[in-house]
Amino acid sequence: MRDEEKLSKSLGAEKQGSNRLIRSICQGIIAIVGICWITIGLGISPFSHGIFDYGSSGELGVASPIENAFLSALDVNLAGNWSEKYTSVPHLAGQGIELVDWTAKKFEEYGLSTEIEGFDIYLNYPVENGLALLKKGRNGTSVAYKASLREDALPEDPTTNGDDLVPAFHGYSASGNVTANYVFVNYGTKEDFELLKSQKVNLKDKIAIARYGKIFRGLKVKFAQEAGCVGVLLYSDPGDDYYQEAKGDKAYPEGPARNPSSLQRGSVQFLSEAPGDPTTPGYPSQGDVERADPKGLIPDIPSLPISHKEVAPILQKLNGHGLSGSKIGGDKWKGGLKGFDYWTGPSPDYSLNLYNNQSYDIRPIHNVYGNITGSDSDEGYILIGNHRDAWIKGGASDPNSGSAALLEVIRGFHQLQLTGWKPRKTIIFASWDGEEYALLGSTEFGEKYGKDLQANCLAYLNVDVATSGKTLGIQASPFLNKVLNDSLHLVDYPLGGSLHDHFFESKEKFGILGSGSDYTVFQEHLGIASVDLGFKGGPEDPVYHYHSNYDSYHWMSTVADPGFKFHNALAKYLGIIALKLTERKVIPTEVATYGAELKLYFQRLVDRVPAEWLDVPSGKCHRTVSDVITSLGDELNGFLENAGVFDLRSEALQSKWDSSEGQPFWRRIVLHYKIKSLNYKLRYLERRFLYRKGLDGRPWFKHVVYAAGRDTGYEGFALPGLKEALDDGDIVSFVKWLKIIRAKVRKLNDDYA
Ligand SMILES: *[C@@H]1O[C@H](CO)[C@@H](O)[C@H](O)[C@H]1NC(C)=O
Ligand SMILES: *[C@@H]1O[C@H](CO)[C@@H](O)[C@H](O)[C@H]1NC(C)=O
Ligand SMILES: *[C@@H]1O[C@H](CO)[C@@H](O)[C@H](O)[C@H]1NC(C)=O
Ligand SMILES: *[C@@H]1O[C@H](CO)[C@@H](O)[C@H](O)[C@H]1NC(C)=O
Ligand SMILES: *[C@@H]1O[C@H](CO)[C@@H](O)[C@H](O)[C@H]1NC(C)=O
Ligand SMILES: *[C@@H]1O[C@H](CO)[C@@H](O)[C@H](O)[C@H]1NC(C)=O
Q: What is the pLDDT of residues 521-551, one digit of tens each?
A: 999 999 999 999 999 998 889 999 999 999 9
Ligand whose nearest atom lies closest to the CA of 110: 1
Looking at this protein, which amino acid is placed at residue 540?
A: E
State if residue 655 touches ligand 1 by the CB under 6 angstroms criterion: no
For residue 423, the Cα-to-chain-centroid distance in whole angstroms is 25
634-677, pLDDT tens digit by residue?
999 999 999 999 999 999 999 999 999 888 999 999 999 999 99
Pocket test for ligand 1, best of 78, 81, 414, 567 (most atoms within 8 A of CB): 81
The closest-lying atom of ligand 6 relative to the alpha carbon of residue 508 is: 13
pLDDT of residue 293 exceeding 90, the answer is yes
Instruction: Give me the pLDDT at residue 266, please.
Output: 98
pLDDT of residue 221 exceeding 80, the answer is yes
pLDDT of residue 725 exceeding 60, the answer is yes
Q: For residues 303 and 301, give the distance between their C-alpha atoms in angstroms, rounded to a whole number.
A: 7
Q: Is 380 helix (H, G, I), strand (E, B) or coil?
A: coil
Instruction: Give me the pLDDT at residue 19, please.
Output: 55
Ligand whose nearest atom lies closest to the CA of 498: 6
Ligand 6 centroid from CA 485, angstroms: 6
Confidence of residue 223 (pLDDT cuts 50, 70, 90): very high
pLDDT of residue 617 exceeding 50, the answer is yes
Contact 383, 430 (CB under 8 A): yes
State if residue 655 touches ligand 2 by the CB under 6 angstroms criterion: no
Confidence of residue 26 (pLDDT cuts 50, 70, 90): low
Ligand whose nearest atom lies closest to the CA of 367: 2
Looking at this protein, which amino acid is placed at residue 151?
A: E
Confidence of residue 22 (pLDDT cuts 50, 70, 90): low
User: Which residue's alpha carbon is nearest to atom 4 within ligand 1?
Assistant: 81
- The pLDDT of 430-438, averaged and rounded, is 98
Instruction: Give me the pLDDT at residue 230, please.
Output: 98
Ligand whose nearest atom lies closest to the CA of 141: 3
Which among 1-15, 504-518, 729-743 has the top mean pLDDT?
Answer: 729-743
466-480, pLDDT tens digit by residue?
999 999 999 999 999
Report DSSP state, residue 522: I
State if residue 78 touches ligand 1 by the CB under 6 angstroms criterion: yes
Q: For residues 213 and 333, give the distance between their C-alpha atoms in angstroms, rounded to a whole number.
A: 12
Q: What's phi and psi for 425, nearest 5 deg?
A: -100, 150
The residue that leads in pLDDT, 156 or 44, is 156
What rounded mean pLDDT belongs to the chain?
A: 92
- The pLDDT of 170-192, averaged and rounded, is 98
Ligand 5 centroid from CA 366, angstroms: 28
- The pLDDT of 559-582, averaged and rounded, is 98
pLDDT of residue 1 exceeding 50, the answer is no
Ligand 2 centroid from CA 529, angstroms: 20
Contact 66, 54 (CB under 8 A): yes
Ligand 2 centroid from CA 119, angstroms: 17
Confidence of residue 2 (pLDDT cuts 50, 70, 90): very low
The closest-lying atom of ligand 5 relative to the alpha carbon of residue 175 is: 13
Angle formed by the axes of helices 625-658 and 665-683, to 10°?
150
State if residue 428 touches ligand 2 by the CB under 6 angstroms criterion: yes
Ligand whose nearest atom lies closest to the CA of 81: 1
User: Which residue's alpha carbon is nearest to atom 7 within ligand 3?
Assistant: 139
Pick the CATH number of 122-360 from 1.10.3720.10, 1.20.1260.10, 3.50.30.30, 3.40.50.1820: 3.50.30.30
Ligand 2 centroid from CA 371, angstroms: 6
Instruction: Give me the pLDDT at residue 28, please.
Output: 54
Q: Which residues are 492's β-sheet partners?
A: 498
For residue 286, the Cα-to-chain-centroid distance in whole angstroms is 23
Instruction: Give me the pLDDT at residue 31, please.
Output: 54
- The pLDDT of 152-172, averaged and rounded, is 97
Instruction: Give me the pLDDT at residue 23, please.
Output: 60
- The pLDDT of 291-295, averaged and rounded, is 97
User: Which residue's alpha carbon is nearest to atom 13 within ligand 6?
Assistant: 509
pLDDT of residue 6 exceeding 70, the answer is no
Instruction: Give me the pLDDT at residue 180, please.
Output: 98
User: Which residue's alpha carbon is nearest to atom 3 within ligand 4?
Assistant: 177
Q: For residues 528 and 686, give the distance between their C-alpha atoms in angstroms, rounded to a whole number.
A: 6
- The pLDDT of 10-18, averaged and rounded, is 41
Q: Worst-scoring range by mean pLDDT, 167-176, 393-402, 714-723?
A: 714-723
Q: For residues 458 and 441, give the distance between their C-alpha atoms in angstroms, rounded to a whole number.
A: 20
Instruction: Give me the pLDDT at residue 44, please.
Output: 43
pLDDT of residue 568 exceeding 60, the answer is yes
Q: Give the residue among 654, 676, 665 at the shortest CA–CA distance from 46.
A: 665
State if residue 357 touches ligand 5 by the CB under 6 angstroms criterion: yes
Instruction: Give me the pLDDT at residue 378, please.
Output: 85
The DSSP element (H or E) to which 104 belongs, if any, is helix 97-109
Q: List helix spans (H) across 265-420.
A: 308-316, 325-328, 400-418
Ligand whose nearest atom lies closest to the CA of 79: 1
Q: For residues 128 and 393, give the distance between their C-alpha atoms in angstroms, rounded to a whole number.
A: 18
With the C-alpha atoms ordered 208, 214, 217, 221, is the resulting torsion angle positive or negative? negative
Contact 186, 201 (CB under 8 A): no
Instruction: Give me the pLDDT at residue 337, please.
Output: 97
Ligand 6 centroid from CA 682, angstroms: 21
> Which residues, in sequence order, are CB contacts of 82 under 8 Å at separation 6+?
400, 403, 404, 407, 408
User: Which residue's alpha carbon is nearest to atom 8 within ligand 4?
Assistant: 177
Report DSSP state, residue 686: G
Q: Where do the structural domains in the chain lie, given as residue ranges?
A: 65-119+369-583, 122-360, 591-752
Instruction: Give me the pLDDT at residue 50, please.
Output: 34
Ligand 3 centroid from CA 133, angstroms: 19
Count other C-beta atoms under 10 Å from residue 22's C-beta: 10
Q: For residues 335 and 218, give the distance between their C-alpha atoms in angstroms, rounded to a whole number.
A: 21
233-262, pLDDT tens digit by residue?
999 999 999 999 999 999 999 999 999 999
Ligand whose nearest atom lies closest to the CA of 564: 1
Instruction: Give me the pLDDT at residue 55, please.
Output: 43
Q: Give the residue among 580, 601, 587 at the shortest CA–CA distance from 511.
A: 601
State if residue 127 touches ligand 5 by the CB under 6 angstroms criterion: yes
Confidence of residue 27 (pLDDT cuts 50, 70, 90): low
Q: Give the residue among 305, 300, 303 at the shortest CA–CA distance from 264.
A: 305
Q: What's phi and psi for 449, nearest 5 deg?
A: -105, 20
Report DSSP state, residue 557: I
Instruction: Give me the pLDDT at residue 621, please.
Output: 73
> In the structure, which protein residues have their CB atom closer than 6 angstroms to any atom of ligand 3?
137-139, 142
Q: Which residues are 117's β-sheet partners?
A: 367
Q: Worst-scoring range by mean pLDDT, 152-156, 197-201, 371-375, 622-626?
A: 622-626
Q: What's phi and psi for 555, nearest 5 deg?
A: -65, -45
Contact 710, 270 (CB under 8 A): no
Return the CATH class of domain 65-119+369-583: alpha beta
Confidence of residue 15 (pLDDT cuts 50, 70, 90): very low
Stated pTM of the model: 0.92
Angle among Cα 332, 186, 299 to the nearest 5 degrees reads 145
Q: For residues 29 and 532, give the distance between their C-alpha atoms in angstroms, rounded to a whole number.
A: 49
Instruction: Give me the CATH code for the 591-752 domain, please.
Output: 1.20.930.40
pLDDT of residue 49 exceeding 50, the answer is no
Angle among Cα 193, 197, 198 to the nearest 5 degrees reads 120
Ligand 6 centroid from CA 412, angstroms: 27
Ligand 2 centroid from CA 514, angstroms: 28
Calculate what percentage of the chain has a pLDDT beyond 70.
Answer: 92
- The pLDDT of 476-492, averaged and rounded, is 98
Q: For residues 185 and 183, give the distance between their C-alpha atoms in angstroms, rounded to a whole number.
A: 6
**Tally: H helices and E strands in the chain:** 23, 15
Calculate what percentage of the chain has a pLDDT beyond 90.
Answer: 88
Pocket test for ligand 4, best of 128, 131, 355 (most atoms within 8 A of CB): 355
Instruction: Give me the pLDDT at residue 25, please.
Output: 56
